[in-house]
Chains A and B, each alone.
Chain A
């Protein structure tokens, strides 16, 4: 019986305590919710702003942040830079160097899709230390990218190729604009006949 009493007293104490603290918890909860919402929404808003002010929307100059996978003349593979269509040429600006290819010298231009992992580089290597193969879980987090492949000849007739990885949905506008500027392709746009190389 004694035990029963004690337990009853304890419970009532706890409920009283929780009742007394409830307004504080609610206030704290609201504060945390506001802070977390602002933290979550601020990058999204920032992304939205950049998307709205992105030069892609402009029809004159098309540009995107890309990763040069292979084929930069003098620019290291896998370096990141800005790919743009300036005037009648495709221009890559990366590693402090600029490479330009005239649209008329492009023999073929094609687009494809690929996946890139979200956790890469040093973070990926560090994740390898997670025991029981835990790093494999990180491999599940990936995003789709567009791959733009450009084949062209330089002034000396030498054949070159370059592969770029860029944000999903960006490769097609580049291809369309370069074809409009005189680039050739073996895979035509919808409703067009293929060009001969």
Chain B
């Protein structure tokens, strides 16, 4: 009997120890991430104006430029972080008290092929990199990042703009 209980102990002890270590590590990383999220400054604004995308020096086709703009508007509206999402040039935006402005400038663009993607699964990816700059009413930058949108396997080439806008919406959720 004694021999049997010793055997159980020898098996149970490492399991309990590893579980305890696992929980401790999880707790510590949880604390770290919560402290990181606390350190991220959250901004508040009731309205945002989205400017028309600037193609810059990148040969971005017009349909991609428009898809970036329209998808951004849709996805930012979906976040529900702003009472008003104004389009570029909207006269009503002038009266908005705490308006933030989102500007996008294309940095890189590679047009792939849906056929190549779906047949080979490794070639024909479409990707675009766009600089996203959000400034407050005084022109101070809140966000200034390059975001990449891509479609690697399934879907049409314009899907890259949808991927990009989803990523921007996530940044908006984290920032406001």
Contact = CB atoms under 8 A, between A and B. Distances in A.
Interface in B102-122: 113-115, 118-119, 121
Contacts of B90: 156-158
A117 B156 CA distance: 9
A91 interface: no
Given A71-B66, A112-B62, A149-B66, A159 B118 contact: no
A171 B158 CA distance: 18
A153 B89 CA distance: 8
B119 A158 contact: no
B62 A110 contact: yes
B118 A139 contact: yes
Interface in A123-160: 136, 139-140, 142, 147, 149, 151, 153, 156-160
A69 B89 contact: no
A77 B17 CA distance: 55
B114 A142 contact: yes
Contact of A70 (B52, B71, B91, B114): B71
A151 B62 contact: yes
Interface in B136-163: 156-158, 161
A136 to B, nearest CB: 5
A149 B91 CA distance: 24
Contacts of A178: none
Main secondary structure of the interface of B (DSSP, over half): helix
Contact of B63 (A69, A117, A142, A156): A69
Given A139-B114, A139-B119, A157-B90, A108 B62 contact: yes
A170 interface: no
B70 interface: yes
Contacts of A112: 61-63
**A108, A147, A162, A163 — which one has the most chain B CB atoms within 10 A of its CB?**
A163
Tell me whether chain A's interface is mostly helix, strand or loop, or mixed. strand
Most chain A CB within a 10 A radius of its CB, from B86, B119, B157: B119
Nearest to B113: A115
A161 interface: yes
B62 A117 contact: no
Interface in A81-129: 108, 110, 112, 114-117
A156 B93 CA distance: 10
B88 interface: yes
Contacts of B52: 159
B168 to A, nearest CB: 15
Contacts of A136: 118-119, 121
Contacts of B69: 159, 161
Contacts of B133: none
Contacts of A114: 63, 156-157
By Cβ-Cβ distance, the 7 closest A-B pairs, closest first, are A161-B66, A139-B118, A158-B87, A158-B90, A159-B88, A149-B62, A157-B89
5 contacts: A70-B70, A157-B89, A158-B89, A158-B90, A163-B67
Given A159-B52, A161-B66, 12 more contacts: A108-B62, A110-B62, A114-B156, A140-B119, A142-B115, A149-B63, A151-B62, A157-B89, A157-B90, A159-B69, A159-B87, A161-B70
